Amino acid sequence: SVLFTADGAREAFAGAEIIQARFDELQDVVSQGSRHARLLEAHPEVVGNLLFVRFAYKTGDASGHNMVTNASDALMQRILSWQIGLSYGSISGNFCSDKKATAVNGILGRGRNVVADILLPHEVVERRLRTTAQEMADLVVRKNLVGSTIAGAIRSANAHYANMLLAFYLATGQDAANIVEGSQGITYAEARDEGLYFSCSLPHLIVGTVGNGKHLTQINDALEKLGCRDDREPGENARRLASLMAATVLCGELSLLAAQTNPGELMATHLLMERKEQQSS
């Protein structure tokens, strides 16, 4: 998002209307300046004499941090050249919102929006997870939804998305700081006649398969093994990576929550794994 200043609220609102009216021109500015970036939307917000504009872009297989900053810089220059009563405020207005836990990312979108879900038969839940569908559904409500609410979570109700995401981010050369907003998401479960319905919704995963750091040998090897280096349409490899992340998050949520339905199981498992590591070292 970018920030303009004006003499007053009237001028700021007028500027926002002009930006929306000349949106096609702004789209051309972005397309002419980049092979991959495409301007999709512009969301203005006026606070006093301040005009915030949150631009939404398509960035292909890149996470696009630098790509969209460069495009936004060009857009600001064009808008200021119109001389419509706006002045430069900042190239970043915090309405994006990058690396911060906010509501706007889930409402307006940011990065990849992925939902992973599964229906596990009762026999699998009881034999493999050592719990029941009803106990899982109850814990999701009591811990994730109610617990997160009293903690003041922002559009987020999960057990530990950040753990799985950080492993993926480091292994595939992502900007690890983006797990701040990436780990905002909602785990939901239902006890059905057929078994346990379980889902993880991650509305703003900032990931890419090309760009800074992706040329490093270990990063490239990891992306190849994940099938994210194939010849696909622009954006498809990044979407595949985001889907794999969501699927892994779902597995991690299932495992942790199942353990927490049984008294003592979580800590006993940690102690057992620590002892094995100590014996092998």
Taking the whole predicted model, whether its pTM rises above 0.75 is answered as yes
Per residue of the chain (281 residues), what is the pLDDT tens digit? Answer: 999 999 999 999 999 999 999 999 999 999 999 999 999 999 999 999 999 999 999 999 999 999 999 999 999 999 999 999 999 999 999 999 999 999 999 999 999 999 999 999 999 999 999 999 999 999 999 999 999 999 999 999 999 999 999 999 999 999 999 999 999 999 999 999 999 999 999 999 999 999 988 989 999 999 999 999 999 999 999 999 999 999 999 999 999 999 999 999 999 988 888 877 666 66
Q: 186 with 156: CB under 8 angstroms?
A: yes
Please give the pLDDT value at position 277: 64
Domain 111-280 fold is 3.90.770
Cα 30 from Cα 39, distance rounded (Å): 6
Q: Which of 3.40.50.2000, 3.30.70.420, 3.40.50.970, 3.30.420.280 is the CATH number of 2-90?
A: 3.30.70.420
Q: Where are the domains of the chain?
A: 2-90, 111-280
Q: In angstroms, how far is CA 152 from the centroid of its own chain?
A: 19
Q: 158 with 253: CB under 8 angstroms?
A: yes
